[in-house]
Amino acid sequence: MTKMSQLEDHIKELEEIQRYNRGLIEASIDPMLTTDTDGIITDVNEQMVNITGHSRKRLIGTPFKEYFTDPEEAYEGIKETLAEKMVRDYELTLISQTGKQIPVSYNATVFTDAEGNVKGVFAVARDITEYKKMEQEIKESQRYNRGLIESSIDAMLTTDTDGIITDVNEQMIRITGRLREQLIGTPFKEYFTNPEVAYEGIIKTLSEKMVRDYELTLVSRAGKEFPVSYNATVFTDASGYVKGVFAVARDMTEHKRLEKELKSYTENLEVKVNERTEELKIQQERESSYNQILTTLNASIDLSIMLKNGLNEIVQHLNAPFGVIYLYDIEENVLKTAATHAVKKELLTAQFEVGEGIPGEAALERKTLIIKDIPQDERYHIDFGVMEANPKTIMSIPIVFRKNLLGTIVIGFLTDVSEDTQQFLQRIVSQFGIAINNAQSYDMVQNMAQELQEYSGQLEKSNQLKDLFTDILRHDLLNPAGLVRGFTDVLLSKEIDEKNKELLKKVHNNNEKLIDLIETASKFAKLESTEELEFERNDIGIIFKNVVDNFAQLAEDKEMTIEFLADGEYFANVNPIIEDVFSNLLSNAIKYSPKGSRIILDIQDADPDWRISVTDFGFGIADEDKTKLFQRFKRVDKKGIKGTGLGLAIGKRIVELHGGDVGIENNPEGQGSVFWVTIEKA
């Protein structure tokens, strides 16, 4: 290889290296340039062309400083680099061709020729727009944080690890009444009533990294004390090294005040609860007294015992020295002493007219009378028999039940009488009203029962007398009459003298009449005292027909025709004695009708009854007599016909014992009557 070609190669190699270096320079994202020692640009890279917007040609040969907002500063930079051989982070603001301002940070060095002479400056700029923006943001956020800190209503401060204040916020200044400068650099503990405890708080925070609710009392410059509660933490630098304590104090003045208020409120509440409990206790005692008195009132139905016991209970429960109950006597219109408690004897019989005296006034007005503040002097001195006292209050309460005055209760007290006691007494007295009314009603019922019993005794007696009379009738009258009948029959058969015979016949007839009367009367008396009959289901049509058969001869004797219309079945629950009713009616019809007249017998369905009727064409009965006939011994217009006047009365009684009815109507077909009875169907 020739020397020439060696040189060529070397040059090529150098060119290669240069191209490489230049390539690096051009590819750099940082704008680069060189200036001569006067600050005239001698070279620029591509990025410099881009950022300034000027062509390489325009840039080279012009002063470096021309492209910055502050040319002096830019020129200073060049000079500083030449003097110091190097500058770092030299900040300038570049102006592009379009006028855009770009913050840049320069690192610059000098460059020399082969001999080591300084030829100029090589400056590398960095676009710090982003960085500047970030810096701004940080500043803003810092300001924001600080703002928060300053505006906090909590007093905040930082101390170093020795407890010397390094920073304070606005509230801390306000609360202590000192300037920021006066606070910073002084020991934290100086501002508290108990510096030792304050210092311990700092130490505790440093050792435990955090304390909560640490209570201290801060003293302001003016000497005012503030209770404060601290929350404190340690704070570190970027590398985690503890720099000091950040303490947030809360002014507890309001809190303490509320606490105090709460305490007094709680205490107050306690007092109130106690008072109310006491009230309830009294009420409960009242209620139990009330129930006790009520029990006493209900325990006895005997009026005087009930009043006495009730009054005793009242005076005991109310701690009253005396009491009187007066009952109202409606007939005499006076109040009479009915029960007393601790009242001397003379008062026991006292009585007051309505309107008179203390009990009378309350009774008249029907209103409670309260006499208060009775003077404590001789005039009002009351001798109660068992004690002597001057009552301070007297209450006179009318006892009223359903608007009726029953009496008055007068109670004397040695003290004033509370509203409560008055109401209580009022309630009790209304219970007295009920109890007295009950007792009086009971007395009344008791008396009525007594009277009823006496009356029923009398009735019993009169029944016994009737029975006795019936027995006398049957045995003491019927037997001799029977004997008379026997004797006259014998005498009649033997007597030949017509006159004597006539007399004997009269005796015989009258005796027969007497026997008939005795028999019917005793039958009636027996039926009168009979309550119930025994029944049997029977066809009353058949019974009726038998009666007709018994009277056939009698009717024939009077040439009368009996028309028996009942031809069905007529079942009813009857006693055989029912036959007497039919006999009596048919016998009367024959008796009280003229010779040759008709008699119509019928049984009709008058659901739920059978209606049995006897129609005659006889003398008839006047309307005013119709009801009388069924009474015993009532006979009208006898027309010389013999009878006892008991037949219809007996018949009516028998029908009634069957649950039926009797009646008389005029014969609708003309002269005569219709006698009817009803018997329930079965």
Binding site for ligand ADP (CB under 6 A): 584, 588-589, 592, 616, 618-619, 621, 629, 635-638, 643-648, 673
| Closest residue to ligand ADP: CB criterion | 643
Contacts of 166 (CB under 8 A, 6+ apart): 157, 158, 159, 160, 184, 244
Three-class DSSP labels, 115-131: CCCEEEEEEEEEECHHH
- What are the CA-CA distances from residue 643 to residues 232, 347, 527, 613, 634 (Å)? 136, 73, 19, 21, 10
Comparing CB distances to ligand ADP, the nearer of 79 and 635 is 635
Comparing CB distances to ligand ADP, the nearer of 340 and 613 is 613
Task: Quote the least distance from Cβ 555 to ligand ADP, whole Å.
Answer: 13
Task: Quote the least distance from Cβ 609 to ligand ADP, whole Å.
Answer: 22
| Alpha-carbon span 650 to 631, nearest angstrom | 9
Residue type at 597 in one-letter notation: S
Comparing CB distances to ligand ADP, the nearer of 385 and 643 is 643
Comparing CB distances to ligand ADP, the nearer of 322 and 592 is 592
Task: Quote the least distance from Cβ 519 to ligand ADP, whole Å.
Answer: 12
Comparing CB distances to ligand ADP, the nearer of 66 and 579 is 579
Comparing CB distances to ligand ADP, the nearer of 660 and 672 is 672
The three-state secondary structure class of 373 is coil
Comparing CB distances to ligand ADP, the nearer of 351 and 671 is 671
Task: Quote the least distance from Cβ 556 to ligand ADP, whole Å.
Answer: 18
CA angle, 552 then 557 then 561, to 5°:
55
Assess contact for 644 and 633: CB atoms under 8 A. Answer: yes
CA angle, 78 then 83 then 87, to 5°:
60
Is the N-terminal amide bond of 608 cis, ω within 30° of 0?
Answer: yes
Residue type at 216 in one-letter notation: L
Task: Quote the least distance from Cβ 551 to ligand ADP, whole Å.
Answer: 13
Task: Quote the least distance from Cβ 510 to ligand ADP, whole Å.
Answer: 15
Q: Tokens 């309630």 correspond to what residue? A: 427
Comparing CB distances to ligand ADP, the nearer of 58 and 635 is 635
| Alpha-carbon span 48 to 430, nearest angstrom | 117
Comparing CB distances to ligand ADP, the nearer of 326 and 544 is 544
Task: Quote the least distance from Cβ 508 to ligand ADP, whole Å.
Answer: 19
Question: Angle, nearest 10°, between helix axes 498-529 and 478-494?
Answer: 160
CB neighbourhood size of 591 (10 A): 16
| Alpha-carbon span 144 to 322, nearest angstrom | 87
| Alpha-carbon span 458 to 213, nearest angstrom | 103
Task: Quote the least distance from Cβ 598 to ligand ADP, whole Å.
Answer: 13
Residue type at 577 in one-letter notation: I
Comparing CB distances to ligand ADP, the nearer of 71 and 645 is 645
Task: Quote the least distance from Cβ 601 to ligand ADP, whole Å.
Answer: 13
- Within 495-577, residue ranges assigned H as helices are 498-529, 540-557
| Alpha-carbon span 178 to 393, nearest angstrom | 72
Contacts of 484 (CB under 8 A, 6+ apart): 507, 511
Question: Angle, nearest 10°, between helix axes 419-471 and 303-318?
Answer: 170
Comparing CB distances to ligand ADP, the nearer of 162 and 637 is 637
Task: Quote the least distance from Cβ 496 to ligand ADP, whole Å.
Answer: 35
Assess contact for 226 and 137: CB atoms under 8 A. Answer: no
Comparing CB distances to ligand ADP, the nearer of 316 and 667 is 667
Comparing CB distances to ligand ADP, the nearer of 372 and 642 is 642
| Alpha-carbon span 134 to 149, nearest angstrom | 22
Question: Angle, nearest 10°, between helix axes 419-471 and 498-529?
Answer: 150
Query: Which among 33, 52, 35, 54 is positioned nearest to 44, based on CA atoms?
Result: 33
Assess contact for 32 and 124: CB atoms under 8 A. Answer: yes
Give long-range contacts, CB 8 A cutoff, 24+ apart: 268-272: none
| Alpha-carbon span 303 to 327, nearest angstrom | 10
